Amino acid sequence: MVKIYHNTRCGKSRTALKLLLEVGLEVEVIEYLKTPLSSTQIQVLVTALGIKPYDLIRRGEKIFKEHYKASHPDNIDWLQAMVDHPVLMERPIIQKKGLAVIGRSPESLQKILAY
């Protein structure tokens, strides 16, 4: 079973989902904009990704530029920012067993497929 934290409006996310389905994987789709994650759930993903919460932030988003760009929140504040504004989360995040990747590149998708 593979989980994909998916944004239907994102081309990279749609491409990743299509690839996962084409190779025959059983996929659980989590549309995190419709069903926002808790800070605990996001922390679990951050840990599985091996990154800090800030590294999961989409810094090109309008909400980031308007409210967070000039600030210096700590890890807990960044987690809360993603709870409050799920659009700030990088996508797609793909999780298979104990591995998670941000599936924006062919290399990260291959890493999941080979796992």
Domain definitions of the chain by residue range? 2-114
Torsion of CA 14, 19, 25, 26, to 10 degrees: 10
pLDDT bracket for residue 14 (50, 70, 90): very high
Domain 2-114, CATH class in plain words: alpha beta
Residue spans of beta strands (DSSP E) within 18-97: 27-31, 93-96
With a cut of 90, say whether residue 55 has pLDDT above it: yes
Euclidean distance between CA atoms 50 and 99, whole angstroms: 9
Across the strands, what pairs with 89?
57
Closest CA to 99 of 113, 83, 82: 113
Q: Return the percent helix, strand and coil in the chain, to nearest 5.
A: 50, 15, 35
pTM for the predicted model, two decimal places: 0.92
- The whole-number pLDDT of residue 104 equals 92
Pick the more confident residue, 103 or 68.
103
Euclidean distance between CA atoms 6 and 30, whole angstroms: 6
Q: Which residues are catalytic?
A: 10
Determine contact, residues 33/7, Cβ cutoff 8 Å: yes
